[in-house]
Amino acid sequence: MHHSIKSILSMSPVMPVLTINKVENIDYLFEALIKGNLKTVEITLRTDCALQVIEVVSKKFSSLQVGAGTVLNESDLQSVKDAGASFAVSPGTTNELAKKAIEMDYPFLPGVSNSSDIMKLLDLGYKSFKFFPAQAAGGINYLKSLNGPFPGILFCPTGGINEENASQWISQKNVICVGGSWIVPSEAHNYKEITRRALSASRLGN
């Protein structure tokens, strides 16, 4: 089942960004997120076991769209696709990486932080971007000002977004969803709390 990056991002208002340090007991975490009604996750490649986690989770939890984050080059892209990730996310992008994803026909969310980034990717046919690091790169005002020159372009802002400000971001007309790590704080084992945070995130923007 091959979805476009736009259709994947539109499944939930919030995409939890997860940095997972070990494969043991990850079922509880993903069950908690599914109970919380979230449909997409991004598992970053910042840990040694990330690819293994992506493989396990994408096999076991077919109701989730499992994405891989921190995809930095073409070999990362190939690895995450082979591991079973439904899509890839990058903090920025290179021409090679953006072209490779098109060539592989693989849903890819490239990171941008300014107009030049956007224009280069528009030329290649991209219309959905990760805006990163969202708060540090100019915040909501910056994103609003991109609406003028780039109508119809959608962003998934990530970086500095939390439970308090998420709804403000999501209400922007060029925001398709937001990425955030607040739903699963690192080393979190309070699965009821994760479900509570996920449920409240899943209702944002309605």
Half-sphere exposure of 177 (CA within 13 A, CB side): 25
Closest to 45 measured CA to CA, from 77, 14, 68, 65? 68
Is 31 a catalytic site residue?
Answer: no
Helices within the chain (DSSP H only): 5-9, 26-35, 50-60, 74-83, 95-103, 115-124, 139-146, 166-170, 191-202
CA pair distance 57, 36, nearest whole angstrom: 16
Is 164 a catalytic site residue?
Answer: no
Residue 78 DSSP SS3? helix
Residue tagged active-site, from 35, 59, 130, 192: 130
Contact at 8 Å (CB) between 78 and 51?
no
Residue tagged active-site, from 42, 99, 103, 164: 42
Residue 21 DSSP SS3? coil
Residue 66 DSSP SS3? strand
Residues labelled catalytic: 42, 130
